[in-house]
Amino acid sequence: MMSLLLSGFFLSAQVVNVPEKSKKHFFAKYPGATNVDWTNSVAWYTAKFTDKDGTREVHYKLDGTWDYTELDMPKASFPAPVQTSVEKSRYAGWEMKSTAYVENRKAEKLYRVEWKKGIEKKYVYYDGTGREIRSSSSL
């Protein structure tokens, strides 16, 4: 029984071998990062950290290429046109789970709102003028 418990512990302890390309980019772009926590999945590497602006999550592809960064941001800090679009959104009756400012490798600077209704989630992205750029769904 003890060996089963110990093996379960070792299975849950994960060593993240972050690509050198990701680490180099991360430390150059976020020199003031603190409380850095790296994780990985089958799709990317993620570093969650804090800096002078708040809590961020940066995502890298498996080859180490930067993909996007999210900064937790309350809706009240979004530009006024974005706030208006969010309030008039077709999902306005859904629960607002999270909001963030997103920069990506395509040089887009977007505002993201995560909506939830039951088990369904929608991620809606707006540009600085309040125009909806895209949305995606998940369960």
73-139: what fold? Nuclear Transport Factor 2; Chain: A, (3.10.450)
Is a pLDDT exceeding 50 seen at residue 63?
A: yes
91 close to 115: Cβ distance less than 8 angstroms: yes
Output the CA torsion 50→55→59→65 (10° steps): -50
Sequence-separated (6 or more) residues with CB below 8 Å from residue 33: 26, 27, 47, 49, 50, 51, 56
Task: Compute the distance between CA of residue 131 and CA of residue 8 in angstroms, rounded to an integer.
Answer: 48
Q: What is the pTM of this model?
A: 0.83
pLDDT digits (tens, 9 = 90+) for 72-130: 999 999 999 999 999 999 999 999 999 999 999 999 999 999 999 999 999 999 999 99
Architecture of domain 19-67: Roll (3.10)
Q: Are domains 19-67 and 73-139 of this chain identical in fold?
A: yes
The whole-angstrom separation of Cα 78 and Cα 14 is: 36
Return the higher-pLDDT residue of 3 and 128.
128
The closest of 101, 102, 97, 100 to 121, measured between CA atoms, is 97
Q: What residue ranges do the domains of the chain occupy?
A: 19-67, 73-139
